[in-house]
Amino acid sequence: MATPGRRILHLDMDAFYTSVEQRDNPTIRGKPVAVGGRPEGRGVVAAASYEARTFGVRSAMSMTKAVRLCPELIIVKPDFGRYRTVSSQIFEMYRSVTPLVEPLSLDEAYLDVTENRWGEPLATTVAKRLKRWVHAETHLTVSAGAAPNKFLAKIASDWDKPDGLTVIPTQRVEAFLQQLPVEALWGVGPVTARRLRAAGITQLVDVRAVPVDVLRSTVGSQADWLHRLAEGIDDRPVTPNRSAKSSGSENTYAEDLTNLDTIRTEVDRMARRGADWLGRKTLCARTVTVKVRYSDFTTITRSHSERPATRDADRLAARALRLVDGTEAGGRPVRLLGVSLHNLMCDEEVGQEPGHQTLPL
């Protein structure tokens, strides 16, 4: 069960981008707002206010669809510089309470408050004080989850949004787990959930009754991890200043791409941009992933991993091009392309990889 003695918070700003916009522009407060690109420019919703969400508007949705769902939608161009400034202010507050702050994004973080500079013995009290402080300083709200581990804290923070606080003490972990659907397990998306439900696994706790080898045939290498989570076990520490785990870029095009040469040129450019980033960070990547979204919004991803890891632009670009050549790009209109690099490691780690050869000088 959950590790006793640990007190973990997951803090998640409420509709962060749109909340900043509504805070700074009183004329759009209380109205449906979406941050993103214009519908006539094939824009995508980056964030939606709670007022917009009541109409079904969600992030990653095309702005054209968002406007169909909510004709009164107010569209605001994103200002990521301003969002980063507000984020930095909030994270400084978090770090003044504990050095164990693990950022997940501009608006989301884990905090280990088992020991904290306020000397508060209860995570609940720390969460309440932080929520009040953030609101007083920024006029924004944050939802919080407090639990003995990261898995449970993240579920808890989403339990009562916006401006919520959900606490799962160790003695209530089992009762909390009993009420969760299988989709609550970390890493279980729509596809995996369908596989699990087809196998009769509908609730989180149902995973416990399935032998690991049977579960492995359904979800592959995730089986052991899901078994542990279903027991409420998550021993991962809160890790400050997390190193980058991936790098990538993607682009939604104003007009669908139908020419394969154009598509390959775009993929080559994105892969080389990623290689440049690796060079600046003195990192290498083992895995290249290509994302293709067609005009009907069908989205596919293709990945390729190999050892040793590399940051060689030609090699990474060639692998990305092979991946996109294996899709229907060029045969079907393409709306979005993306290339990302994963399984990053430093030079010292690469030198220890199987298949690595040190060439003579």
140: left (phi over 0), alpha (psi -120 to 50) or beta: beta
> Can you tell me the distance from the alpha carbon of 130 to that of 53, in angstroms, rounded to the nearest whole number?
26
- Any idea which of 129-133, 262-266, 311-315, 346-350 has the lowest mean pLDDT? 346-350
Measure CA of the first residue to CA of the last residue in the chain; give whole Å.
54
Residue 196 pLDDT greater than 70, yes or no: yes
Same-fold call for 180-230 versus 246-351: no
Domain regions of the chain by residue span: 16-80, 180-230, 246-351
Q: What is the pLDDT of residue 4?
A: 53
User: One-letter amino acid identity for 67?
Assistant: V
> Three-state DSSP class for 20?
helix
Residue 344 pLDDT greater than 70, yes or no: yes
* Packed helices 313-325 and 260-281: angle between N→C axes, nearest 10 degrees: 140
Residue with tokens 């669908």: 256
Residue with tokens 């670009």: 317
CATH class held by domain 16-80? alpha beta
Q: What is the pLDDT of residue 338?
A: 94
Residue with tokens 């932080």: 130
Give the model confidence (pLDDT) of 39-82 as tens digits.
887 788 989 999 999 999 998 888 999 999 999 999 999 998 89
Q: What is the pLDDT of residue 192?
A: 84
Q: What is the DSSP letter of 113?
A: -
- Identify the active-site residue in 40, 108, 255, 306: 108
Residue 354 pLDDT greater than 70, yes or no: no
Question: In CATH, which superfamily holds the domain spanning 246-351?
Answer: DNA polymerase, Y-family, little finger domain (3.30.1490.100)
Residue 52 CB neighbour total at 10 angstroms: 26
Residue 95 CA, distance from chain mean position:
21
Q: What is the pLDDT of residue 5?
A: 80
Known catalytic residue at 108: yes
Q: According to CATH, what is the number of the domain 180-230?
A: 1.10.150.20
Q: What is the DSSP letter of 100?
A: -
